[in-house]
Chains A and B, each alone.
Chain A
Amino acid sequence: MIILGNYDYLWNVFVLFIGAFVALFVSLVTENRIVLVTIGGIFAAASLILSLLQGSTAVSIGNGTILLSGFSELFFIAILVPGLLSLVGIAKSPVSKKPGLMIFIFLVSLGFMLLAITTHNLLFIFVAFEGVSIPTYVLAAYGKSDSELEAAVKYFIIGAFSTGLIVFGISLYYIATGSLMLGAAPSFQNIYFLAMGLLVFGFGFKLAIFPLHGWAIDTYTGTSNPISSYLSTSSKIMTLVVLFNIFFNSPSFFPYLKIIFAIIAILTMTFGNVVAISQNNVKRMLAYSSIAQAGYLSVVFLAAGTGAYNLAVISLFMYALAYGFMKGGSFLALDSLGNYDIENFSGMWKRNPVFAISFAILLLSLAGFPGTLGFIGKYFLFLSVLSTGTPLAYLVVIVSVINSVVSFYYYGRVIMYMFWRDGKKERVPNNYLLYTSALMTVLLGVLYFLVYAFAQNIIPTIAPILVGGL
């Protein structure tokens, strides 16, 4: 029996749905892209503000089906910020003639993302997750060019396949525990572990970790830039948090979880980095680099069941925020260029110095250069994992650091082309989303202790609810 109460706390989700319909109805009157994006942006921003104001009190809605806490507040922010960036990016991107519908779909999926990370009921998670998936299939196909359709179809096929795995996993979970709530104690260990393994693979596909990465390269490369940005940031962070919710509530699975994710993380980051080296198409390089970043992000699972939990959550938040800015910003920056070949970046320093500097900042942040938020996020993430002190953690962190060094090679290559190669002459238009992202990356990187203090203020409330098993 599900009793809805306290739904006032979910207004940050509701405004997104309301905004979606407002955009849809306004599009009956005008299809002006600027107007519609402004409407979408206002509602997304309102949702962000509401999330920020939510406060750190823990609220349970519907018998614990939905749990709001400082934890969910942190990741609302980490999802909404890149979501907002991508949404505004639609205004510039030459996507479609019907932006009204696009904004509608976009806001609906964003709303479901927020729901997905708050629910602690697998069925709810499944519904919310599909509520994200289906709109994003449409978004990926929206431009109707061949490459976009191909990207969307691949995304859809793999998505459907994963949905099968998820459903299978959930049903096994129910068999093993007799409940759909997260954190239920299993009666049948073997089935429980099988269910968990299926859930890793089912949900993990959106995170694009190693064996599930195939679609991601083609989809990120194929779709329009705002959607690439959206899929590789908000959607990925949402998936990570969903996985986090599921697995951090299953204490008996922790030892296996760590081994599986250690292997996955190492394979994912090594694969992403190694293949990114030989890419000449910058967008494709960014797609591979977001695979590698997923590897770094999934390192966080090694902190499961240890005292490093709080630090892990804070650092995951910081890295997710950094990731949103740097990945979102760099995909959106590509909108200023017609062709993503690395040759097309040559001479950027002369063509538009601000663009060159901002893009270089984002690349350096992706590589983890000190002084940027990317470095801070990575540093804290690795630190939290290291503080668990297990040999496995050391191994994974060492591999991660080596991988970060390798990644300098391909990020540095783009920077080299931008600053030291002469080539193209025509000017590149300004891209304010890129500038904002670069500025925030540096600003928050320098003032990281403010972010840290912000997260730390919110966090005490999460521990008792989420980690009952610890």
Chain B
Amino acid sequence: MDLSTILTFLIFGLPLIGFPFVIGIGYIKKNYSMYLGTALIFFSFLITLYLFFSYTVNGTVIQYSFNWLPSLPAIIPLGVYADNLSMIMALMVSFVGFLIILFSVGYMKEDPNRHVFFGEMVLFTSSMLGLVLASSLLMLFIFWELVGLCSYLLIGFWHYKPNAASAAKKAFIVTRVGDVFFIAGIGAAILYSSGGALSISGLGAIHLEWQRTIVALLLFGGAIGKSAQFPLHVWIPDAMEGPTTVSALIHAATMVTAGVYLMARVYSIDTSLLTPTALTVILYVGVVTIILSGLIGLVVNDIKRILAYSTIGQIGYMVAALGLGLGVTSIGLSIYQLEAHAFFKALLFLAAGSILHAVMNVRDINKMGGLWKKMPVTVTAMLVGALALSGFPGFAGFFSKDSIITASYGVSVFAWSLLAIGGFLTTLYAFRMFFKVALGKPRSDPAEHAHESSWIMLIPIVILAAFSAIFGIFQQGFYDFVENKPVTGAFGIAPLTLTDMVPVILMLAGMGIAYYVWGRNSTIPQKVTSGASDFYLLVKNKFYLDVFFTNVIAERGVIGLSAVSDGFERKAIGGLVDASGKLFQNSGKVLRKIQTGLARQYALIILIGLILALLLLRILMLSGVIH
């Protein structure tokens, strides 16, 4: 094990070991845990940065595995695998994680349980880093579950709010559905590769086409749950009940991208692992998610839920980019969108958090308005975020998202048109939100008395805004890095083509429409809702997916099934356990009686035992049963 391997372990090991101390030190003084937690993530970030630069210089993939459970016949490798994909993910996770935990120092400073919060945040970040650096699917799965656990804990952090508690449960259960697919996928991969796929780099040992399709689709099932794609996206909007920084961390930078990372990881091992069938499924799941979430985003009024639906849609672009099946180019497109999205979505969430902090947690955008004057820095940063999100030329989203749309033109014109419409919808909801928040007059009392947040909350916002604005200049260098080409230079923008103009025109049109409809006093929204009331209701009810899951699957299916098995459990198994317990208890009472306390009796028992044993020996010898 050389230094770089140890450092790679430390990236996630340091916060993983440190998180109990973060919570523990909080019992001495609550604020200490804030400082310790921030410091831990900062160190992780520094180590990642160092490894990232040393990787760009010498380009050696850090690979180290040891055998977990050496007693088992199979070799189960655990360890680290850090290539360009893992590096860039780790860098993003630790950097955005650091900014968000810094923001939390201001945001959570009055919460009585903040030491627990920081402990959970540190654990979350470390598990996410472990996830991207894992060398085997099994280890990836362990961290995947840890991430799920932390998100459950963090979403339910304000557990005294019934909404938060049920949202946490919903997130946990829905992602669990995906995890079933994931673990089945791991099993299938190991089976089909005859054990080779225990370590990630052995995935290529699956040879048959149909086997690859099955493995790819099962793993994608896991990714759907974690990355909130249709139809398992339903948990994210409810998860907005957690503290806003949690939303930013989980829903922008980290947890939701785990699924995309998983698919990219698989795809990067061997581009033929995702077969054409699997690619088509992946592409259209992404496209459907984009359109659905864009539509729903237009009718929701809760500022955090708008961002949640926007997250779902943006991840849809990442998934669709992988589904285009362009090999390493797809990975480059997808991961670049992932990183850009991490910055501008974290920015939007933090800006929203800053606004909510100012308006006493009133989350309805209809009750805001006129905030640009009251909190100029935050709302300007939000404008940057909205521009980046909708892909205004020059901002991050333009380079990341529009590149995907352009690339899809060569694959399928149908998909291209849907992706472009998705971009249009994105612009509409982004600017609907922005105009309602920023312009007009304050529409409620808290909005009237809003004021700018403290500097510690503004610093991360400004940094993220800067990144969202200029991230495009890294585009070419980024693609080269992810695609493992010789990097010509860190800066550079991929050349634009004519088809690029379509999304830009749609985007500008969307901005105009948004201003026309929501940026000033107008009655158009009411007219549209009453004009197309059926469609409006369908979208407003989120396409009845939640109702379907709750009423049909959960209440009719799962609860019915569990009632049956509960009866079986109580009557059959419970009866058996009770009976055996009673048997043991009664025989205990009997056997106890031979413990008389008389030493001579003990000696007698020994003697009888000895005679019996010798007799047994004699019988065995005579009968010759054993040789």
Contacts and interface: CB of A to CB of B under 8 A. Distances in A.
B79 to A, nearest CB: 13
A154 B626 contact: no
Nearest to A156: B599
A198 interface: yes
Contacts of B597: 218
Nearest to B591: A275
B591 A157 contact: no
Contact of B602 (A214, A380, A449): A214
Interface in B128-183: none
Contacts of B70: 449, 452
B537 interface: no
The dominant DSSP class at the A interface is helix
B488 interface: no
A255 to B, nearest CB: 4
Contacts of A409: 581, 584
B572 interface: no
A210 B609 contact: yes
The dominant DSSP class at the B interface is helix
Nearest to A254: B626
Contacts of A193: 617, 621
A192 B591 CA distance: 34
A214 B607 CA distance: 12
Contacts of A205: 606
Interface in B570-606: 581, 584-585, 587-589, 591-592, 595, 597, 599-603, 605-606
Contact of B626 (A218, A255, A406, A449): A255
A277 B602 CA distance: 21
A194 interface: yes
Contact of A158 (B589, B592, B603, B620): B603
A274 B588 contact: yes
A214 B605 contact: yes
Given A212-B609, A271-B591, A277-B588, A158 B602 contact: yes
Given A200-B613, A311-B71, A380-B71, A214 B585 contact: no
A197 B610 contact: yes
B609 A201 contact: yes
A222 B379 CA distance: 77
B624 to A, nearest CB: 11
A211 interface: yes
A215 B608 CA distance: 15
B463 interface: no
Nearest to B586: A278
A439 interface: no
Given A190-B621, A277-B584, A452-B70, A211 B591 contact: no
A217 interface: yes
A261 to B, nearest CB: 10
A165 B592 CA distance: 27
Contacts, number: 90
A276 B589 CA distance: 10
Interface in A190-208: 190, 193-194, 197-198, 200-201, 205
A470 interface: no
Contacts of A454: none
A277 to B, nearest CB: 4
B102 to A, nearest CB: 32
B579 to A, nearest CB: 13
Nearest to B604: A214
A302 to B, nearest CB: 13
Contacts of A212: 606, 609
Interface string B610-627: 100110110011000011
A25 interface: no
Given A193-B621, A197-B617, A211 B606 contact: yes
A337 interface: no
Given A211-B605, A212-B606, A259 B588 contact: no
Nearest to A214: B602
Contacts of A158: 599, 602-603, 606
Given A157-B603, A158-B602, A256 B610 contact: no
A157 B71 contact: no
A198 B621 CA distance: 16
B617 A256 contact: yes
Contacts of A165: 610
A211 B585 contact: no
Interface in B549-588: 581, 584-585, 587-588
Interface of A: 153-154, 157-158, 161-162, 165, 189-190, 193-194, 197-198, 200-201, 205, 210-212, 214-215, 217-218, 255-256, 259-260, 263, 271, 273-278, 311, 380, 383, 406, 409, 449, 452
12 contacts: A158-B602, A198-B610, A201-B613, A212-B609, A255-B620, A255-B627, A256-B621, A256-B626, A274-B587, A277-B584, A278-B588, A452-B70
The 7 closest A-B pairs by CB, nearest first: A211-B609, A214-B602, A278-B588, A255-B626, A154-B599, A277-B588, A157-B599
Interface of B: 70-71, 581, 584-585, 587-589, 591-592, 595, 597, 599-603, 605-606, 608-610, 613-614, 616-617, 620-621, 626-627
Given A271-B591, A278-B585, A278-B592, 10 more contacts: A157-B603, A158-B606, A201-B610, A205-B606, A214-B595, A256-B621, A273-B584, A275-B591, A383-B71, A449-B70
